[in-house]
A and B are shown apart, each in its own frame.
Chain A
Amino acid sequence: MAKVIVVTSGKGGVGKTTTSAAFAAGLALRGHKTVVIDFDVGLRNLDLVMGCERRVVFDFINVINGDANLNQALIKDKRHDNLFIFPTSQTRDKNALKREGVERVMEELKQQFEYIICDSPAGIEHGAITALYFADSAIIVTNPEVSSVRDSDRIIGILASKSRRAERNEPAVDVHLLLTRYDPVRVAKGEMLAVDDVKEILSIPLLGVIPESESVLRASNTGTPVVFDEESPAGRAYLDAVARFLGEQREMRFVTPQRRSFFRALFGRV
């Protein structure tokens, strides 16, 4: 059975698109045929992060409107056969996402893919609601700061009341907390919330902690999902999160400040 996963947060700029790209690539690397859809109509970030912006011909809105069929719009990733990108339109706005159209496209995608990752826009308006509406699972991307936690809490409430599962009285969307841009040093100084605080407030299971890492910016600038960078702590943390999502036990890494090596301490950041 195909599974629809929404990557959402309420708050903007917390790492949804980064996470969508990393998660989709991670699932593909684990052998699952996966598509990642950009619901952020009008902004179109996902294709940049996935490095396929120059191969976009048709988009999500074209398919919804019947101007193109699904296979004309899907872009196959160059790095992995299991990975597909479904880009969105930059010239339309979020109101172009008609629920019936989205439903039809989702049903069609379910025939072809094991996992359908939906990269939600920020906010709690039409675009974000449409992105989460069909979800079976949700990844709640949260930064360790009060406003982000508050917005995550809000979106968890919306999932519990406005998703299709909620409307149909089906088993609830299963929600997972993904704490991103986590900086253990700043947490130790009390400048950021600690993992346990966030977990306590949101009271949902923790899927992973992604450390703040320069490799993320590098990855998105070169259009490579960060999981393909074997050196990147964030990439490894995302692969751990994917493994946990698939039911494996993995120890949480990158949650305590790393002891700085003698040379690092001597020469500063390298």
Chain B
Amino acid sequence: MAAGNVVQGALFTVMVVRAASLRDDAFEHELARQIARSPRFFQNAPVVLDLRGVENLTEASEFETVKGKLRELTLTLVGVQNAQPAQLEAATEAGLASFAPTSGGGQARAERNTPPLPKTRLVTEPVRSGTQIYARGSDLIVTAAVSPGAELVADGNIHVYGALRGRALAGASGDTAARIFCTRLEAELVSIAGRYLVSEQLPPGMQSTPVQIALVDDQLTITRN
């Protein structure tokens, strides 16, 4: 039998998970959520661990732990990338393959291969008093009114096609470039990346008008649309 029949080359798409992000509880949570959303896509999916920027993981047992952790998430760890010599030795001992650094320095690539970006969250019903909507890692679009006592939170931008009478917090995990847009400003509170204005601080001239709100020189700035 010719070797060519036994060993064939093939190209696969493999997910890359950055080891640095694994330290973050929120990351694990987010990954689990992504997987729950499309379980078939992730079922037993092969994963390469990118070790860039990580100093520990120099013992085979540590790789076993990571392997087990990913296993719980239905992912199969097959190899490592960007490993330092000591890490590579430990990884090999744990039965993992070494993958060449991907183009673009691994970082950008890893970014793209982490779970697909959540789609913009779209809400078409009025948001009633007492409800909170959180668009994690994405923009939030509401095509109805937001009542007083309701709260919108988004890591990205917030758009309200209707009266904004409750609270709106954009850039909730620190994105200072996030903005809030609404067709009628009557908010109880607006906030971008932690800076906020309460109702009585909103310029009276902007009341009930269509506006956008952005951070300019660290100041919440409201302009009429």
Seen from chain A, the residues whose Cβ lies within 8 Å of a Cβ on chain B are 124, 150-151, 153-154, 156-158, 160-161, 200-201, 203
Contacts and interface: CB of A to CB of B under 8 A. Distances in A.
Contacts of B84: none
B199 to A, nearest CB: 13
- The list of the 7 closest CB pairs from A to B, nearest first, reads A157-B128, A153-B129, A154-B129, A154-B130, A153-B147, A153-B128, A157-B131
Interface residues of B, number: 13
Interface of B: 125-126, 128-131, 144-145, 147-149, 163, 165
A154 B149 contact: yes
A172 to B, nearest CB: 9
B128 A156 contact: yes
Contacts of A151: 129
24 contacts: A124-B130, A150-B129, A150-B147, A150-B148, A150-B149, A151-B129, A153-B130, A153-B147, A153-B148, A154-B128, A154-B129, A154-B149, A156-B128, A157-B129, A157-B131, A158-B130, A160-B125, A160-B128, A161-B131, A200-B163, A201-B165, A203-B126, A203-B144, A203-B145
Given A156-B128, A157-B130, A203-B144, 15 more contacts: A124-B130, A150-B129, A150-B147, A151-B129, A153-B129, A153-B130, A153-B147, A153-B148, A154-B129, A154-B130, A154-B149, A157-B128, A160-B128, A201-B145, A203-B145
A201 B164 CA distance: 11
Main secondary structure on A side of the interface with B: helix
Contacts, number: 32
Contacts of A153: 128-130, 147-149
B130 to A, nearest CB: 4
Contacts of A161: 131
A144 B166 CA distance: 20
A73 B175 CA distance: 62
* Of B130, B131, B145, B165, most A-chain CB atoms within 10 Å: B130
B136 to A, nearest CB: 19
A161 B130 CA distance: 12
Nearest to B165: A201
A154 B149 CA distance: 9
A161 B131 CA distance: 10
Nearest to A203: B126
B13 to A, nearest CB: 35
Contacts of B148: 150, 153
A201 B147 contact: yes
Nearest to A157: B128
* Of A154, A157, A160, A161, most B-chain CB atoms within 10 Å: A157
Contacts of B144: 203
Contacts of A154: 128-130, 149
Contacts of A203: 126, 144-145
Contacts of B131: 157, 161
A158 to B, nearest CB: 8
Contacts of B125: 160
A153 B150 CA distance: 10
Contacts of B149: 150, 153-154
Contacts of B165: 201
Contacts of B129: 150-151, 153-154, 157
B123 to A, nearest CB: 12
A203 B129 CA distance: 13
Contacts of B163: 200
A124 B128 CA distance: 14
* Of A151, A160, A200, A203, most B-chain CB atoms within 10 Å: A203
A150 B148 CA distance: 7
A200 B125 CA distance: 14
Contacts of A124: 130
Nearest to A152: B129
Nearest to B127: A157
A124 B165 CA distance: 22
A153 B149 CA distance: 9
A134 B10 CA distance: 58
A150 B163 CA distance: 15
B166 to A, nearest CB: 10
A213 B163 CA distance: 34
Nearest to B131: A157
A153 B130 CA distance: 9
A200 B129 CA distance: 14
A151 B163 CA distance: 18
Nearest to A161: B131
B183 to A, nearest CB: 14
* Of B128, B131, B145, B163, most A-chain CB atoms within 10 Å: B128
